[in-house]
């Protein structure tokens, strides 16, 4: 009898972590051997499922360090880490601090690349202290390459050239691959020349760009079977979130990490594939069961986020797509309010509506950060910002990264230059911060190895700068990251200069001090490791990371940027034909694949909402200096009219019809 009770108690403890899961989630958690595909609809609790699956593996005896979880954003990674941490520490069977077990390796693809490359940099001809170029660094180097080759920057636009190179790398192609395809094509040969000059500059500076973090890692695992076997042994259980968003090089990297046991679990939603423009290939998730024979597939269809009304609209929208796995999201949540539709006379009228409705919500007790305004194209934010300013509604435009602020980049560049003296980009950036009177000619002489030939006074200035870098390097070896930031601020002279400057300069000083505060989270790491992690965070920060700043504000962002986020109240604006769904200027027709991706994008937009959804468009909109007369988006027409409430026109901002006119009929 006692044994029976004990057995029951042990089983109860073992499955304690399953009690809050639905049956399909439980099935996914308990399937621990072999490949697993989880098709998780919007708001279906995929993060909860992954975190409980990781806990279950640990309770079955898998060492945490043998578990790898790859996310697409830092935010998603942080959330997963926190959930796993909490589950481990509160599980009644484990009942031990996290320090006893350790934690699984949770990372984005790019952070994973950095980790692997730092451990094996020498095999690719780099040192572990390589510099990671951000887009600005890459663009500057591309411009120099175009100039050195005597090419016309108007014809060979640097941004376009960088995009082409980035696209090729995302497809898993090297410079040699591209060169083999140029043939007699003059333009392609020019691109190859720019790429070669760009790669040469990167290698000279012991630097890698954002795309290299994946391409070089894939190359490393492909060319070095011993390295590949090592990481397959290290991470026996692999989880990949948002698998539908993988490009070819990420796909290759993922497959290389899977060992003989084939313990790979991927989570994704074909209906949320919205990044084909940056290389995401929907075939990767569609063909998963072919890639991994015997794979189990599980559908998560229960939505925990949205009301029944919002979910009904989402299902009506997405069912028109042909390239998908059939599923029908459902929820046990209440019906909720109807979807509100507003038609403005102009884009200013529409913006006025969004701002005033946001103000009403805030006045009723809704926190500003629980409201989001989504739009298809970045240019739409300008008029919305004007309206929010006019009405005194606090707002934040997603996309202003903390680490992209000049003064923050300056401090990080000092660290990078101290650790990697080959990084000419960082030396060029910092050598005159603050102003030291070192001109371009002098900098060119330094870079060409002619420092000894400089006039004595100029030589002294240059020597002082390099002594500063030496001091910073010593500080990195002996002190915590937060104190290194403070040291650079003081020793460089920046603190004195900014504190005595304008209000704007004093604000820049506060941003550097904020960097010191942020750096404290790395103070617990071994000295040099802490700085390296801080530099890595600066290089790999995403738009969503900026949401941690100025939280008490309505969030304005593109629909693409909203992926993975949720808000109680969501406004989807600019629902006009040719704007959303989007059609490029001069484009006569859109491919069926593009049509379906636009529909998926709208699906993503409306499934961000938890309580209430607002849709809007304008009769007229100024685009590229031309006044466009609009018709409503087909997406509005596709939603059952019973789900929609037409909102009356409000006082308009100049021109047009009478304020009391009814909303135009869209059906």
More confident residue, 634 or 454: 634
Q: What is the mean pLDDT of residues 453-476?
A: 90
Place of tokens 């996914």: 28
Q: Is 529 a catalytic residue?
A: no
pTM of the model: 0.85
Q: Is the pLDDT of residue 462 over 90?
A: no
pLDDT in tens, 60-119: 999 999 999 999 998 899 999 999 999 988 887 776 666 666 789 999 999 999 999 999
pLDDT in tens, 617-636: 999 998 766 688 889 999 99
8 A C-beta contact, residue 114 and residue 131: no
Per-residue confidence at 143, pLDDT binned at 50, 70, 90?
A: very high
Position 526 scores a pLDDT of: 87
- Helix crossing, 212-223 with 225-234: angle to 10°? 110
3-class DSSP state of 375:
strand
Catalytic annotation, pick one of 376, 608, 610, 652: 608
Q: What is the mean pLDDT of residues 225-245?
A: 96
Catalytic annotation, pick one of 24, 46, 324, 429: 46
Q: Is 497 a catalytic residue?
A: no
pLDDT in tens, 282-315: 999 999 999 999 999 999 999 999 999 999 999 9
CA 54/CA 60 separation, integer angstroms? 10
Catalytic annotation, pick one of 25, 26, 47, 307: 47
More confident residue, 137 or 583: 137
Q: Is 46 a catalytic residue?
A: yes
8 A C-beta contact, residue 199 and residue 176: no
Catalytic annotation, pick one of 205, 209, 242, 350: 242
Q: Is 241 a catalytic residue?
A: yes
Q: Is 89 a catalytic residue?
A: no
8 A C-beta contact, residue 424 and residue 206: no
Q: What is the mean pLDDT of residues 155-161?
A: 92
Q: Is the pLDDT of residue 254 over 70?
A: yes
More confident residue, 663 or 68: 68
Catalytic annotation, pick one of 141, 244, 272, 544: 272
- What's the mean pLDDT when you consider all of the chain? 89
Q: What is the mean pLDDT of residues 483-499?
A: 92
CA 113/CA 75 separation, integer angstroms? 18
Burial 61-86 (b: 16+ CB within 10 A, else e): ebebebbbbbbbbbbbbebbbebbee
Q: What is the mean pLDDT of residues 602-607?
A: 98
Per-residue confidence at 595, pLDDT binned at 50, 70, 90?
A: very high
């Amino acid at each position: 009898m006692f044994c029976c009770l004990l057995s029951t108690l042990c089983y109860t403890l073992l499955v304690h972590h399953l009690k809050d899961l639905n049956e399909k989630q439980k099935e996914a958690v308990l399937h621990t051997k072999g490949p697993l595909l989880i098709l998780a609809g919007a708001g279906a609790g995929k993060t909860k499922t992954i975190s409980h699956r990781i806990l279950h593996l640990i309770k079955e005896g898998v060492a945490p360090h043998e578990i790898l979880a790859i996310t697409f954003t830092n935010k998603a990674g942080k959330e997963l880490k926190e959930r796993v941490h909490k589950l481990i520490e509160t599980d009644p069977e484990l009942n031990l601090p996290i320090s006893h077990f350790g934690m699984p390796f949770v990372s984005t693809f790019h952070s994973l690349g950095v980790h692997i490359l730092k451990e094996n940099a020498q095999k690719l001809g780099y040192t572990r202290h390589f510099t990671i170029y951000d887009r600005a660094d890459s663009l500057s180097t591309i411009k120099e390459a175009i100039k050195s080759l005597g090419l016309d920057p108007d014809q060979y636009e640097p941004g376009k050239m960088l995009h082409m190179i980035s696209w090729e790398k995302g497809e898993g192609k090297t410079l040699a691959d591209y060169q083999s395809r140029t043939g007699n094509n003059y333009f392609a040969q020019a691109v190859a020349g720019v790429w070669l000059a760009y790669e040469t500059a990167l290698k000279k500076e012991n630097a890698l760009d954002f795309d290299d973090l994946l391409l070089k890692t894939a190359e490393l695992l492909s060319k070095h079977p011993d390295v590949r076997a090592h990481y397959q042994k290290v991470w026996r259980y692999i989880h990949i979130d948002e698998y539908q968003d993988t490009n070819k090089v990420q796909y290759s990297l993922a497959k290389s990490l899977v060992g003989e046991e084939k313990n790979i679990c991927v989570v994704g939603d074909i209906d949320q594939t919205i990044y084909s423009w940056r290389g995401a290939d929907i075939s990767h998730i569609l063909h998963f069961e072919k890639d991994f024979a015997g794979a189990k597939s599980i559908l998560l269809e229960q939505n925990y986020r949205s009301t029944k009304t919002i979910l009904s609209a989402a299902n009506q929208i997405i069912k028109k797509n042909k390239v998908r796995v059939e599923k029908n999201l459902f929820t046990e949540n209440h019906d909720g309010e109807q979807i509100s539709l507003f038609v403005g006379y102009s884009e200013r009228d529409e913006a006025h509506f969004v701002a005033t409705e946001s103000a009403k919500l805030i006045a009723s007790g809704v926190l500003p950060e629980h409201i989001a305004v989504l739009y298809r194209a970045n240019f739409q934010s300008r008029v919305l910002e004007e309206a929010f300013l006019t009405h005194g509604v606090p707002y934040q435009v997603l996309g202003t990264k903390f680490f992209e602020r000049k003064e923050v980049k300056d401090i990080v560049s000092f660290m990078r230059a101290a650790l990697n003296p080959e990084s000419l980009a960082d030396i060029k950036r910092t050598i005159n911060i603050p102003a030291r009177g070192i001109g371009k000619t002098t900098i060119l002489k330094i870079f060409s190895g002619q420092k000894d030939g400089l006039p004595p006074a100029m030589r002294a200035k240059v020597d002082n700068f390099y002594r500063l870098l030496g001091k910073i390097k010593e500080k990195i070896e002996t002190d915590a990251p937060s104190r290194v930031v403070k040291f650079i601020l003081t020793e460089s002279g920046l603190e004195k200069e900014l504190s005595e400057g304008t209000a704007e300069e004093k604000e820049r000083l506060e941003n550097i001090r904020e960097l010191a505060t942020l750096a404290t989270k790395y103070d617990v790491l071994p000295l040099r490791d802490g700085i390296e992690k801080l530099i890595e965070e600066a290089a790999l920060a995403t738009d969503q990371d900026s949401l941690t700043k100025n939280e008490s504000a309505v969030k304005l962002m593109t629909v693409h940027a909203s992926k993975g986020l949720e808000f109680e109240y969501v406004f989807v604006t600019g629902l006009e034909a040719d704007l959303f769904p989007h059609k490029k200027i001069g484009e006569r027709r859109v491919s069926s694949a593009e049509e379906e991706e636009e529909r998926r994008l709208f699906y993503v937009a409306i499934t961000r909402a938890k309580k209430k959804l607002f849709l809007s468009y304008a009769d007229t909109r100024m685009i590229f200096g031309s006044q466009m007369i609009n018709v409503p988006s087909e997406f509005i027409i596709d939603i059952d009219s019973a789900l929609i409430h037409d909102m009356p026109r409000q006082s308009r901002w100049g021109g047009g019809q009478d304020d009391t006119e009814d909303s135009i009929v869209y059906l």
